[in-house]
Amino acid sequence: MTSNALPTVIATLDIGGTKMAACIADASGPLLRVVQSTLKSGKPDTIARQGLRLIDQCCQQLQIDPAALQSVGVSSCGPFELRDGATGFIPPNLCGGLHNGDDLPNDWTFLPLESVLRERFTTVRIANDCVAALHGERTFGTAPANSIYVTWSTGIGFGLCVDGHILNGKAGNAGHAGHMLLSDTSEVLCGCGNRGDLEAMLGGRNFGKQLGKPLEVIFSDAQQGDTHALQVVQEAARWFGRALYNLTTILDTEAIFIGGSVWRHNEALLAPLVQQEITDRFPALTRGVTVQGATLGELVTDMGAFALVLPTMWVNDWRARRAWESLRSESIADTH
Amino acid sequence: MTSNALPTVIATLDIGGTKMAACIADASGPLLRVVQSTLKSGKPDTIARQGLRLIDQCCQQLQIDPAALQSVGVSSCGPFELRDGATGFIPPNLCGGLHNGDDLPNDWTFLPLESVLRERFTTVRIANDCVAALHGERTFGTAPANSIYVTWSTGIGFGLCVDGHILNGKAGNAGHAGHMLLSDTSEVLCGCGNRGDLEAMLGGRNFGKQLGKPLEVIFSDAQQGDTHALQVVQEAARWFGRALYNLTTILDTEAIFIGGSVWRHNEALLAPLVQQEITDRFPALTRGVTVQGATLGELVTDMGAFALVLPTMWVNDWRARRAWESLRSESIADTH
């Protein structure tokens, strides 16, 4: 196979602070997904090399020659940093060398990614996990030219599309809107050092802590009509809606797609409250803006990574057959 | 001249709530700018037709045949609304039919723009005035691929560029970030109905009112070291900086260019405070972000309107000669 030929197989990596997943696909769709805990000790290139090994293990199980792979799409936690023109990342929950990573068994301050993957792949496309997710929703779902993807989970992250262009920014960090300052009175501290930004106030990690109860209990109490729990949820939806209103007025957005565990488990309760908070304001910009659950579910970042490198001629067939729905997922034992 | 030939002359309109300006240019640069008060009574197409007459008057003075014009670039106040695929606008300070326009001598609720201009021009490109300004700064100034233009004046408006693409949004309203909610305690009401958005807090119209003194007096007192005035200015710079930090973390911006009367008269005082407020936060995204005055000064929206329709082959010469610096401006008596 020459480098100009269309690929017969492609690979993806989805790198998170807790788990990493590799997938292989051919024209028929994604074939296998293998998952492993993300390594947290060794040299700074540990994580990128773990990704390469995971792809190899995926190939081995599928009896595919790893040399047939030339393209890899990567969705990764961030933020990203460019060094010598190559994308690496500095996630606070993996880098022990950053001020707020004292509980991690490493002194990492920068993790190379693109430079390592280029040793093996001709085409390497990397996007923040939520940016990748929006590529997924645009390619396989119904997200229109002016749309937002947001995940409300432990953290809160965004992918932003304007005029059909998914935003990257100077180092691929567009969409870090979870670190938008919302409140001038909230004292809750975010991992980034801010007080009163969206993620500090509503990210799953902090939100539960502030309430002194697990998040699931609050939502379940609210669903059963507990007045105090309902107030807490309404207040949270109001802040989340204010953030989405801000993005709508900044970007002139048409549709908002929401994923992540906090949203998925409580969509029926949250959706009308969030919708109301947006459309109550500045009608010229918010009229007709829709809020809905993401369509790709838990595979959204993997499918987003595929969208980054997918040959155009595979797209319609994958969409028509919802090729991702039959994807097999396997856990691989930790190696550390 | 056929419609396929390169234009020999082009026109622009800059439509504001108080004044309207028309310009004509040929390959050598902008030739003449005529200015008139924006009309506020008559039929809803009054303003678009005033624009056409102003262009004709410009042609007449230059002894140019109006039929030679095929392209018009328009920078206009907003917000915009699409009707039958054509851009019109619904500015609250011109439309008496909107709830907050009770002091206006009309009952307008929508002003056609593109549909009227298309009666005369083959090419019509319309942008919000701050979006046009960023087109100007990108074409004639030094604004890089990930940059923001902001005007701090009576109102506060933005143009946003990400990955070299200047954002439009679903109806051309991207950049309405002056209506971003910043404070959960401020009770100041914005023209859009929000409380605690950026424009409510810092727009020249409201800012002075809150203080009970003209804005110019506050800034001049602050420059002379008056402690209270200095506190007020520092607080304002802090809020303005928070808004710019929010946009930087949302868009992964590289450089911010600021214009408008409030900024222009007080840049030396404001710039270091605003810069500090941005770079004190989230270093992965804010490191190296620059804050500076816009380079095109008071002609920024006119030059932005030219940038929308300028033949590519004129650009380098205009830039090299700073062709706009010799532009002659004339006031035309009001017709109402």
pLDDT over threshold 90, residue A93: no
Chain B: nearest CA to A75, how far in angstroms? 18
If you average pLDDT over residues A106-133, what whole number do you get? 97
**Residue B281 to residue A192, Cβ atoms within 8 A:** yes
Cα B233 → chain centroid = 23
pLDDT over threshold 90, residue A86: yes
Q: Which helix (H) or strand (E) segment is A25 a member of?
A: strand A19-26
Predicted local confidence at residue A2, as pLDDT: 46
Beta-carbon pairs below 8 A across chains A and B: 141
Q: How far apart are CA B224 and CA B203, in angstroms?
A: 23
Contacts of A256 in chain B (CB under 8 A): none
B100 touches chain A (CB under 8 A): no
Helix (H, G, I), strand (E, B) or coil at A13: strand
H-state helical runs in chain A: 46-62, 114-117, 129-140, 198-202, 204-211, 215-223, 227-251, 261-279, 283-286, 300-309, 312-321
Give the global pTM: 0.95
pLDDT in tens, A300-330: 999 999 999 999 999 999 999 999 998 999 9
Interface test with B, best of A111, A251, A287 (most B CBs within 10 A): A251
Give me the residue from B168, B253, B282 closest to A194, CB to CB.
Answer: B282
Q: B244: Cβ–Cβ under 8 A, 6 or more apart, which residues?
A: B148, B150, B256, B274, B277, B278, B291
Question: In terms of Cα–Cα distance, which of A8, A37, A13, A9 is closest to A23?
Answer: A13
Computed over every residue of chain A, the mean pLDDT equals 93
If you average pLDDT over residues B212-220, what whole number do you get? 87
Q: Which residues of B81-105 are buried (b: 16+ CB within 10 A; e: fewer)?
A: beeeebbbbbbbbbbbebeebeebe
Chain B: nearest CA to A238, how far in angstroms? 11
pLDDT over threshold 80, residue A99: no
If you average pLDDT over residues B15-22, what whole number do you get? 95
**Residue A168 to residue B162, Cβ atoms within 8 A:** yes
B78 and B128 in contact (C-beta within 8 Å)?
yes
Q: Find residues 216-245 of chain A whose CB sits inside 8 Å of chain B.
A: 242, 245
Q: Find residues 4-43 of chain A whose CB sits inside 8 Å of chain B.
A: none
Nearest CA in chain A to B184: A183
Q: Find residues 242-281 of chain A whose CB sits inside 8 Å of chain B.
A: 242, 245-247, 249-254, 281
B172 touches chain A (CB under 8 A): yes
Report the share of chain A in percent with pLDDT over 90.
Answer: 85
Q: B252: Cβ–Cβ under 8 A, 6 or more apart, which residues?
A: A167, A168, A169, A170, A171, A172, A173, A174, A175, A176, B146, B162, B285
pLDDT over threshold 90, residue B259: yes
Helix (H, G, I), strand (E, B) or coil at B126: strand
List Cα–Cα distances, B54 to A123, B26, B35, B76, in angstroms. Answer: 54, 17, 8, 15
**Residue B284 to residue A81, Cβ atoms within 8 A:** yes
Which CATH class for the B9-132+297-331 domain? alpha beta
pLDDT over threshold 80, residue B2: no
Q: How confident is the model at residue B1 (pLDDT cuts 50, 70, 90)?
A: very low
Q: Find residues 142-161 of chain B whose CB sits inside 8 Å of chain A.
A: 145-146, 158, 160
pLDDT over threshold 70, residue A101: no
Contacts of B247 in chain A (CB under 8 A): 250
Give me the residue from B78, B177, B282 closest to A193, CB to CB.
Answer: B282
Q: How confident is the model at residue A273 (pLDDT cuts 50, 70, 90)?
A: very high
List Cα–Cα distances, B255 to A206, A208, A215, B148, B168, in angstroms. Answer: 32, 37, 39, 7, 19
pLDDT over threshold 60, residue B101: no
Predicted local confidence at residue B100, as pLDDT: 61
Dihedral sign for Cα atoms in the order B14, B17, B19, B20:
positive
H-state helical runs in chain B: 46-62, 114-117, 129-140, 198-202, 204-211, 215-223, 227-251, 261-264, 267-279, 283-286, 300-309, 312-321
Give me the residue from A162, A173, A182 closest to B252, CB to CB.
Answer: A173
Identical fold between B9-132+297-331 and B142-293: yes
Helix (H, G, I), strand (E, B) or coil at A174: coil
Contacts of B164 in chain A (CB under 8 A): none
In this structure, which topology does domain A142-294 adopt according to CATH?
Answer: Nucleotidyltransferase; domain 5 (3.30.420)
Predicted local confidence at residue B107, as pLDDT: 94
Computed over every residue of chain B, the mean pLDDT equals 93
Directed axis angle between helix A261-279 and helix A204-211, to 10°? 80
Q: Find residues 74-93 of chain B whose CB sits inside 8 Å of chain A.
A: 78-79, 81, 90
Q: How far apart are CA B210 and CA B201, in angstroms?
A: 9
Q: How confident is the model at residue A215 (pLDDT cuts 50, 70, 90)?
A: confident
Q: Which helix (H) or strand (E) segment is A30 a member of?
A: strand A29-37
Sheet-wide strand order for A111-112: A80-83, A86-89, A111-112
Sorted by where each begins, the domain ranges of chain B are 9-132+297-331, 142-293
Using DSSP bridges, classify how beta strands A71-76 and A123-128 pair: parallel, antiparallel or unpaired.
Answer: parallel
Predicted local confidence at residue B244, as pLDDT: 98
Predicted local confidence at residue A336, as pLDDT: 54
pLDDT in tens, B154-188: 899 999 999 999 999 999 999 999 999 999 999 88
Using DSSP bridges, classify how beta strands A165-166 and A156-162 pair: parallel, antiparallel or unpaired.
Answer: antiparallel
Which CATH code for domain B142-293?
A: 3.30.420.40
Which pair of structure tokens corresponds to residue B149?
């233009």
Dihedral sign for Cα atoms in the order A1, A299, A52, A81:
positive
**Residue B165 to residue A168, Cβ atoms within 8 A:** no
Predicted local confidence at residue A140, as pLDDT: 96
In this structure, which topology does domain A9-132+298-331 adopt according to CATH?
Answer: Nucleotidyltransferase; domain 5 (3.30.420)
A252 and B173 in contact (C-beta within 8 Å)?
yes
B97 touches chain A (CB under 8 A): no
Which pair of structure tokens corresponds to residue B161?
């560029």
